[in-house]
Every structure is written in structure tokens, then in C-alpha cells.
């Protein structure tokens, strides 16, 4: 009896895994095609200095619109791209495209910078740094206008290698941000060994700021933590004036979120920037 039900369960799991694998394969095939046909594109979300209410730059975010006009969320396709290795060529394209976009935006507002998400696999490629140098060179931009966003998951490649690479990146004057801080398998000992310029507080903590629950206490602690480690602190996913006010009181340096601007295509971002200039 027990054996029979055990077998039944094993069957059930096998079927499930089969479905998940097929779905994954379908998604990967679609993504590969979208990349080949150049139907992936980038949107840009403004980042602002909180106290000065000044635009300092943008984060490039990848978008995939399928042939039937549906959007697939990066939360869904980035993991598939990572597992398959497709994130390496895609990430290279993202870097180059975002820097070309930045060259255009800097003609409009001097000093803007671009933040680009880098997946752990991409970061671990031996040619990564050379590609970054080349992309900056081709866009005619100084290293200081680029920020690479990494997450604590880069630790999978070994902290020795990560910290050596980060030192090389910093020596060039390229900035590094730790993304989604406080989520995933965060460890404060990693933070201590990652020489980063900026700490990004994850939206999960920011959204708690006007709720009054204990999660808000975490957001409050991250600001002085980042500062004590010599980093600027940027809050992600700011949606309400109350959250912005709380962040201002905490001394948070920078913000990004729907309250200020949604991720926009390049033309939209340029228009948005021009609009702000005329209002100022």
C-alpha cells in the first residue's frame, strides 16, 4: 500500500519536472529567436539625487515583446537566459546598447551615468572586462559614467575572484552597485568584501516604509550600514511621497521608482528629461 502510493508520487513529480522542462525549453527557444531577430529592447528608468531632486542617470532594463505583442517579464526570462548561458551574449548587447543610449542622453544633460545589470555568469567570463572597455571606447564615454549592478549571487564564482575583479573595475573608475540588497542569501561578510560604491535597497524594504511594520526597520538600518561602509545608498521602487519623505529623513542619497519615472524607451526618456528641464 505504502509502496504503491510512493510510486504514484514519484510518477507525479516526474511528470511535473517534464512540464517545467518543456516550458523552459519553449521559453529559451523564443528568447534565442527574439535575440537573433533583434526584438529585445531596453528601457531606461531615471535615478535621482534625493535631496537635490536632480536626475543623475538611469538604469537600463531589458524587455522582450513576443511576436503576438505579449511582454515576458525579465523575472521569468532572465533565469532561463542565465541557466542556458544565453545571458552572456545578451548581456554584452545590453552593455553596448545602454552605453550608446547614454552617449545620446549626455548630449542633453551633462554628467549622466548609466547603470547596467550584470549577471553572475557574465561577470565570470574572462573577456568581461575587455568587453566593458571596448563598449565604453566605442560609445566615446569615460569609465566613470558606467555603473555595473551586481548581486550577492556573484559570490558563487568565489569571493577571491570577485574581489580581484572588482578592484580592477574600480581602478578604471567604473562604479559598482550591489543590487537587491537584503534579499536572497545575503551575508554581511560578503558586503564587507565587496568594494562597491553604491548599495541599492530592495523594493521589498522600501515599500514597507509607509506601512509601519518591522520590515520598515530594516530599510532604516540599511542606510547607516551602507554609509558606514563608505557607500552611497539608493532606494529602489519608491512609489509614494510618504516613502520618499521617510527616505529623506533617513538620509538616503538616491532614489529610483514609479514616483519619479517608470522605465521608458530611449525617446521617451529623452522627452521626459527635456520636460523636467523646462519645468525647472
Positions 139 through 178 that interact with ligand C2E (CB under 6 A)? 149
Which is closer to Mg ion, CB of 236 or CB of 253? 236
- Report d(CA 85, CA 267) in Å as an integer: 31
Give 86's contacts (C-beta < 8 A, 6+ positions apart): 28, 31, 32, 35, 80
# residues contacting ligand C2E (CB under 6 A): 24
For residue 16, the minimal CB distance to ligand C2E (Å) is 25
Kindly state the cell numbers that stand for 178. 550591489
For residue 201, the minimal CB distance to Mg ion (Å) is 9
- Report d(CA 178, CA 152) in Å as an integer: 7
78 binds, among Mg ion, ligand C2E, none (CB under 5 to 8 A by kind): ligand C2E
CB atoms within 10 A of CB 42: 20
Q: Under the criterion CB under 5 A, does residue 180 sit at the interface with Mg ion?
A: yes
Task: Choose which of 149, 152, 220, 254 interacts with Mg ion (CB under 5 A).
Answer: 149
For the chain, the farthest-separated pair of C-alpha atoms sits apart, in whole angstroms, at: 77
Q: 140-169 burial, b if ≥16 CB within 10 A, otherwise e?
A: ebebebbbbbbbbbbbeeeeeebeebbeeb
Q: Under the criterion CB under 5 A, does residue 82 sit at the interface with Mg ion?
A: no
Which is closer to ligand C2E, CB of 4 or CB of 119? 119
Task: Choose which of 152, 236, 253, 254 interacts with ligand C2E (CB under 6 A).
Answer: 236
Positions 218 through 257 that interact with Mg ion (CB under 5 A)? 236
147 binds, among Mg ion, ligand C2E, none (CB under 5 to 8 A by kind): none
- Report d(CA 181, CA 222) in Å as an integer: 9
Q: Under the criterion CB under 5 A, does residue 117 sit at the interface with Mg ion?
A: yes
Positions 89 through 128 that interact with ligand C2E (CB under 6 A)? 91, 94, 117, 119
Q: Under the criterion CB under 5 A, does residue 147 sit at the interface with Mg ion?
A: no
Residue positions counted in the chain = 280
User: Contact 169/204 with Cβ under 8 angstroms?
Assistant: no
- Report d(CA 153, CA 279) in Å as an integer: 41
CB atoms within 10 A of CB 89: 13
Which is closer to ligand C2E, CB of 220 or CB of 260? 260
Task: Choose which of 24, 30, 239, 268 interacts with ligand C2E (CB under 6 A).
Answer: 239
Binding site for Mg ion (CB under 5 A): 117, 149, 179-180, 236
Amino acid at each position: 500500500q505504502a509502496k504503491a502510493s510512493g510510486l504514484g508520487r514519484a510518477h507525479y513529480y516526474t511528470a511535473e519536472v517534464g512540464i517545467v522542462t518543456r516550458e523552459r525549453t519553449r521559453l529559451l527557444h523564443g528568447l534565442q529567436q527574439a535575440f537573433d531577430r533583434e526584438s529585445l529592447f531596453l528601457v531606461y528608468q531615471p535615478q535621482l539625487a534625493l535631496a537635490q531632486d536632480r536626475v543623475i542617470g538611469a538604469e537600463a532594463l531589458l524587455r522582450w515583446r513576443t511576436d503576438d505583442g505579449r511582454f515576458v517579464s525579465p523575472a521569468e526570462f532572465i533565469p532561463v537566459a542565465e541557466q542556458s548561458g544565453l545571458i552572456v551574449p545578451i548581456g554584452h548587447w545590453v552593455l553596448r546598447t545602454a552605453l550608446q543610449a547614454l552617449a545620446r542622453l549626455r548630449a542633453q544633460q551633462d554628467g549622466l551615468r548609466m547603470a547596467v545589470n550584470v549577471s553572475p555568469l557574465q561577470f565570470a567570463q574572462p573577456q568581461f572586462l575587455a568587453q566593458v572597455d571596448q563598449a565604453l571606447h566605442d560609445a566615446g564615454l569615460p569609465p566613470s559614467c558606467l555603473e555595473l549592478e551586481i548581486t550577492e549571487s556573484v559570490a558563487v564564482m568565489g569571493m577571491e575572484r570577485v574581489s580581484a575583479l572588482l578592484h580592477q573595475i574600480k581602478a578604471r573608475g567604473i562604479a559598482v552597485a550591489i543590487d537587491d540588497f537584503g534579499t536572497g542569501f545575503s551575508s554581511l561578510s560578503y558586503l564587507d568584501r565587496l568594494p562597491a560604491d553604491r548599495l541599492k535597497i530592495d523594493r521589498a524594504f522600501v515599500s514597507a516604509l509607509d506601512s509601519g511594520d518591522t520590515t520598515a526597520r530594516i530599510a532604516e538600518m540599511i542606510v547607516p550600514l551602507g554609509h558606514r561602509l563608505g557607500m552611497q545608498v539608493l532606494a529602489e521602487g519608491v512609489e509614494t511621497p510618504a516613502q520618499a519623505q521617510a527616505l529623506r529623513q533617513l538620509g538616503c542619497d538616491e532614489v529610483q521608482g514609479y514616483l519619479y519615472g517608470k522605465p521608458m524607451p530611449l525617446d521617451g526618456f529623452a522627452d521626459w528629461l527635456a520636460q523636467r528641464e523646462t519645468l525647472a
